[in-house]
Amino acid sequence: MSTDRPDTTESPHTVPAGWFQLEASLLDYSHDANRGTRSTQWIFGQINLKHGLDESTDLQCIVNSHAVAGVSELGDGSRTSGFGDLTLRLKRNLLGNDDDGPAFAVMPYLTIPTHTQVSDNAWGGGVILPFGMALGQRLSLGLMAEMDVVPDTQSGGHDLEWLHSATLGLALSERFGVYFELVAIAGEDAAFQGLGNGGMTYSCSANLVFDVGMRLGLNAAAPDVGVFSGVSFRF
């Protein structure tokens, strides 16, 4: 089973035809403090439900079941919560879906606003290009380029944002694995962000995997720290 979580770098492999795969974040927390402003975000039960349409294509629906965001500045604070936006993605593998060689896919996506307190209240979208390959029996490499059309809350329009990531995965045993990842994010009107991520996976079976991990901001513009846990299973 190949999953898109827990790292930022997505997998180039698709869900087998006729199968369903559910990847859920049990808890995702992030914290950022910058120039007197503190921001926190909790996401409970973010779900990515996938269905294999054919041998090289799967359809995905991502739901933020419940999100809570808080901002405080000089003792004054506010908190919002609610059902997050919906994201639809279509992943098409173009190379190496069924073997251990290099693999590549293209994944366009569309974000649909739900107009809750935590919604961006605007449509968005983009395209994701994941690549992966084995570097040996235990080591694997993942690379990803992503272009996003994101809402601009100040102008009411949209901006372009680019994300690049690289991850190394290491199988410690048949059940335990770890990964280390670097992520770079840049945008038209946004400061460059650098992130360092790492985590561990535990495979209970061929169709059930648990994960935990941490994100660390590498510069002032990036969120300071984040922690998460999740589960993925196929049926």
CA 30 to chain centre: 14
Cα-Cα-Cα-Cα torsion 83, 88, 89, 90, nearest 10 degrees, comes to 150
Percent of the chain with pLDDT over 70: 98
> What values do phi and psi take at 58, rounded to 5?
-135, 155
The Cβ-side half-sphere exposure at 31, using a 13 Å CA radius, reads: 3
The reply to whether 173 falls in a domain is yes
The reply to whether 233 falls in a domain is no
The reply to whether 39 falls in a domain is yes
**Distance in angstroms (rounded) separating the CA atoms of residues 150 and 186:** 12
**Distance in angstroms (rounded) separating the CA atoms of residues 197 and 127:** 22
Mean pLDDT in consecutive groups of 10 residues from the start of the chain, 235 residues: 96 97 95 86 92 98 84 70 90 91 96 87 95 95 96 83 98 97 93 97 97 97 96 97
Cβ(114)–Cβ(85) below 8 Å: yes
The reply to whether 58 falls in a domain is yes
Q: b/e per residue, 184-211, with b = 16+ CB within 10 A?
A: ebebeeeeebbbebbbebebeeeeebbb
* Alpha carbon distances (Å) from 21 to 56, 62, 213: 15, 12, 21
The domain total for the chain is 1
- Which residues are CB-contacts of 135 (< 8 A; sequence separation ≥ 6)? 141
The reply to whether 4 falls in a domain is no
- Residue 116 has a pLDDT of 85
Q: What's the pTM?
A: 0.92
Over the stretch 21-64, which tens digit does the pLDDT of each residue have? 999 999 999 999 987 788 998 888 899 999 999 999 999 999 98
- Residue 75 has a pLDDT of 57
Could you tell me the residue range of the domain that residue 124 belongs to?
20-225
- Where residue 134 sits, what CATH number does that domain have? 2.40.160.40
The reply to whether 3 falls in a domain is no
The reply to whether 14 falls in a domain is no
**Distance in angstroms (rounded) separating the CA atoms of residues 220 and 60:** 33
The reply to whether 9 falls in a domain is no
- Residue 74 has a pLDDT of 57
Please, which residues bridge with residue 164 across strands? 145, 184
The Cβ-side half-sphere exposure at 29, using a 13 Å CA radius, reads: 5
Q: Which two tokens stand for residue 76?
A: 């004054």
Tell me which residue of 99, 153, 154, 90 sits closest to 125, measured CA to CA.
90
Cβ(181)–Cβ(165) below 8 Å: yes
- Residue 206 has a pLDDT of 94
